[in-house]
Chain A
Amino acid sequence: MRREIPLAITVFVGFLLIISVFFPPVETLGEDFSLSFDIIAVFAFFLGGGNLIRIHLKKLARRETDWMFSIVTLGGFILMLTAGLLKIGNPGDIATSVNTEGMLFESIYRSVFVPLGATMYALLAFFVASASYRAFRAKNREATILLVAAFIILMGSTPLGAMATSWMPESLSIFEIPNLAVWIMSYANLAGQRAIIIGIGLGVVSMSLRLILGVERSYLGKEG
């Protein structure tokens, strides 16, 4: 029963949504299920929050390595959650957006969440540069093509790239680096992307079929 009911739910919902495409009176079923998906996703956020509290409280209780930082995580979590759910500093009524200037939630978002997120991703620039220096070598034809394409795209977006080839006549303007970068993005890159997208589409369709027909059951976990 612990596996049969979930399997039945998947098969029923999957078939229902596919069939609804062919019957205009129930066409909106897809939108209702999409919203239901979003609602369950919010509960999943709450599950994640609950799990975060549980893990860090356990870490604190056991005085595990770096347990002091768990206080930071829990403190940040509780402060942000309280500020957001209670709309602390709300200049308007309850319908006012939580991102309105003046609210504590918005201040934390602007001064903590945004700078931390942006700097984390910005940091990757250094690691990508370091990794590409180590990994990228024009050892063969394929690697050379990759390197040249990346170089043209990077140069094409800089003033140096435009300056270096701006002397070219109009009849050869495709060889100006910014034009070449646009051409690569619009044609060669598009062809590769499209081949990958078609492959992904086929993969998703076949996986969806496996799930709906009950062939794929790994998401149900082990019996028990």
Chain B
Amino acid sequence: MNRIGIIVFAGVCVLFVTSWFLKGSVGDATMTEGFLITLSAFLTLAIMSFLYKDNPYYKFAEHLFVGVSAAFWMTMGFWSTIVGNLIPRISDSLGAWFLQPKGEINYFFLLPIFFGFLLLMRLAPKGGWLSRWPLAFIIGTTAGLNFVRYLRSDFINQISATFVPLVVDWQGFGHFFGNLSLSATGPLVAMVGNFVIFGGVICGLIYFFFSKEHTGWFGTASRIGIWVLMVTFGASFGYTVMGRISLLVGRLTFLLRDWLELMT
């Protein structure tokens, strides 16, 4: 670390300690609460510092996140799945020790435990090939469950939902043309919308159909399909950006309100 680096590091340490004591001594706050808020704020700033360039503070936060998140998922998996779902199904006494509600004993669940230990064989210098057995079980389960699930929800149900009435709230031509408007809640807008759904899905599927050359009417439908897909991608993009911005606003609110108390 060069001299500037040491000065910056010392400055960060001084700021951290100052913030800790200030946050810990205000109102009813304890020193532990002061430390935790200061830690959150500094970690937030450490990640944001990447906008300038890659630096040791960002690397520190990034490496900490990797370690903490790996342990977080392990812990959650252990308490919710192993203790909460598995143990009451294989042992009454162990379930009682963990104060879990009594479940119906089913020795079938010894099989995933066996496969689970085989999976850990991957860490062993020899016998790593045994980890293919649990992998095969996982893949077989996923394929078997998804075959039916996707056929029902992503295929049959989606096709069924596409066949929507193209004429909405029809009370005759006179009524329709007499009340013609582009009101957001009017029947004309709903009709156009349903037509877009029906036609858009057909055209979108035609775009994905590559067994016939995209020329003539088929090519026109395919081109409309691209436009529909572009609207979808645009909408998804807009939503993604909005989601990220709301997270950013959340972090800035934390810094300005909870940490610096500049906002109420």
Nearest Cβ in chain B — how far from A45, in angstroms?
5
Q: In the bound complex, how far is the Cα of B183 from the Cα of A94, in angstroms? A: 59
A17-B145, A183-B189 given; A224·B183 CB < 8 A: no
A9-37 near B? 1/0 per residue, CB < 8 Å: 11111111110010000000010111111
* Residues of chain B contacted by A95 (CB below 8 angstroms): 98-100
Instruction: Check A47–B86 contact: CB distance below 8 A.
Output: no
Instruction: Check B139–A10 contact: CB distance below 8 A.
Output: yes
Instruction: Check B155–A107 contact: CB distance below 8 A.
Output: no
Binds A, one of B4-12, B16-24, B43-51: B43-51
Instruction: Check A142–B227 contact: CB distance below 8 A.
Output: yes
A12-B140, A80-B71 given; A201·B82 CB < 8 A: no
* Residues of chain B contacted by A120 (CB below 8 angstroms): 47, 65
Contact count band on A: 35 or more
In the complex, whether B167 has a CB less than 8 A from a CB of chain A is: no
Chain A residues numbered 35-64 whose CB sits less than 8 Å from any CB in chain B: 35-52, 54
Q: Which of B32, B142, B201, B237 contacts A146 (CB 8 A)?
A: B237
Of all chain A residues, which has the CB nearest B121? A47
* Residues of chain B contacted by A153 (CB below 8 angstroms): 234-235, 238-239, 242
Q: Which of A9, A50, A70 contacts B137 (CB 8 A)?
A: A9
* Residues of chain B contacted by A119 (CB below 8 angstroms): 43-44, 47-48, 247, 251
Q: In the bound complex, how far is the Cα of B140 from the Cα of A172, in angstroms? A: 54
A128-B241, A148-B234 given; A173·B82 CB < 8 A: no
A147-186 near B? 1/0 per residue, CB < 8 Å: 1111111100100000000000011111110010011111
Chain B residues numbered 156-210 whose CB sits less than 8 Å from any CB in chain A: 158-159, 161-162, 181-186, 189, 192-194, 196-201, 203-205, 207-208
Of all chain A residues, which has the CB nearest B189? A174
Q: In the bound complex, how far is the Cα of B97 from the Cα of A94, in angstroms? A: 9
Instruction: Check A33–B141 contact: CB distance below 8 A.
Output: yes
Instruction: Check A194–B143 contact: CB distance below 8 A.
Output: no
Of all chain B residues, which has the CB nearest A154? B238
Q: Which of A77, A154, A188 contacts B196 (CB 8 A)?
A: A188
Of all chain B residues, which has the CB nearest A190? B197
Q: Which of B48, B75, B135 contacts A80 (CB 8 A)?
A: B75
* Residues of chain A contacted by B140 (CB below 8 angstroms): 9-14, 17, 211-212
In the complex, whether B14 has a CB less than 8 A from a CB of chain A is: no
A119-B48, A150-B237, A208-B147 given; A191·B99 CB < 8 A: no
Instruction: Check A73–B67 contact: CB distance below 8 A.
Output: yes
Nearest Cβ in chain A — how far from B200, in angstroms?
3
Instruction: Check A198–B66 contact: CB distance below 8 A.
Output: no
Q: List 14 contacting pairs A-B, 8 Å CB cutoff, sorted by A.
A: A7-B136, A39-B86, A74-B67, A77-B70, A121-B244, A122-B250, A124-B244, A128-B240, A145-B230, A173-B183, A173-B184, A191-B198, A195-B208, A219-B135
In the complex, besides A40-B138, A81-B74, A198-B159, 8 extra interface pairs with C-beta distance below 8 angstroms are A13-B136, A35-B112, A39-B86, A40-B134, A47-B122, A107-B32, A125-B245, A170-B183
A-B residue pairs, 6 tightest by C-beta: A195-B204, A191-B200, A17-B144, A192-B232, A149-B234, A201-B154
A contacts, CB < 8 Å to B? 2-3, 5-7, 9-18, 21, 30, 32-52, 54, 66, 69-70, 72-81, 84-85, 93-95, 97-98, 105, 107-126, 128-129, 132, 141-143, 145-154, 157, 170-176, 179, 182-202, 204-205, 207-209, 211-212, 219-221, 224
